[in-house]
Amino acid sequence: MKTVIKTSILILSAWLMMSIHAQAADFAWMDSKGESHTFVEAYQGQPVLVHFWASWCPPCVAEMPEMSAWLEKHPEVKILPVSLDRTLEDAQTFLQEQHLPLQALLTNSSQAAKMGVRGLPTSILVRADGTIQGAYVGAQDWQYQPWQDEVLRLFTPKVQ
């Protein structure tokens, strides 16, 4: 039954995302040095998993260790873990205290809205051409095979 529910949630999330006409090109964030970056500048031509989270978000906090462990096993997955904390220091402190080997990046709700974010955590799969393949609101089960397959499919080169 859990598998049916999880699969239904994945399908519903993807369907909801199709109604959002977001594109990653306009998205911007700040890195740990306080420098601003845009998606086009940093990731043009590359697929990316953009993950929105915050240290004050209980589902985000619960998901981060499992997500981080999964990402360590899949170095081919490029991730942009963007916090919606008030300050970059808040995000950095959380990641350090939890011993999570992720970059501390920061954006605001206005920038997140450009990506179609409507809740936290949100994982967004962005194709190499900058279009959004899917957005998934809520903590994901990083041990759930259909979710892993969905993420990994983005990073698997197409055979011609």
Give pLDDT tens digits for 83-129.
Answer: 999 999 999 999 999 999 999 999 999 999 989 999 999 999 999 99
CA distances from 160 to 151, 157 (A): 21, 9
Name the residue ranges covered by the structural domains of the chain.
2-154
pLDDT over threshold 50, residue 152: yes
Please name which of 79, 88, 80, 71 lies closest in space to residue 148, comparing C-alpha atoms.
71
Which residues, listed in sequence order, are joined to residue 132 by a DSSP beta bridge?
Answer: 126
Residue 54 · residue 15 · CB < 8 Å: no
Max Cα-Cα span within the chain: 46
**Once rounded to an integer, what is the mean pLDDT over residues 41-45?**
91
Task: Please give the CATH number for the structural domain made up of 2-154.
Answer: 3.40.30.10
127-146, pLDDT tens digit by residue?
999 889 999 999 999 999 99
> Coil, helix or strand for 41?
helix
Considering only residues 64 and 13, tell me which one the structure prediction assigns the higher pLDDT.
Answer: 64
Give the model's confidence band at 160: pLDDT under 50 very low, under 70 low, under 90 confident, else very high.
Answer: low
Give pTM, 2 decimals: 0.84
**pLDDT surpassing 90 at residue 66:** yes
pLDDT at 79: 97
Per-residue confidence (pLDDT) for residue 80, from 0 to 100:
97
Q: How confident is the model at residue 22 (pLDDT cuts 50, 70, 90)?
A: low
Output the average pLDDT for the chain: 87
> For residue 121, is the peptide bond before it cis, meaning its omega torsion is within 30 degrees of 0?
yes
21, pLDDT greater than 70: no
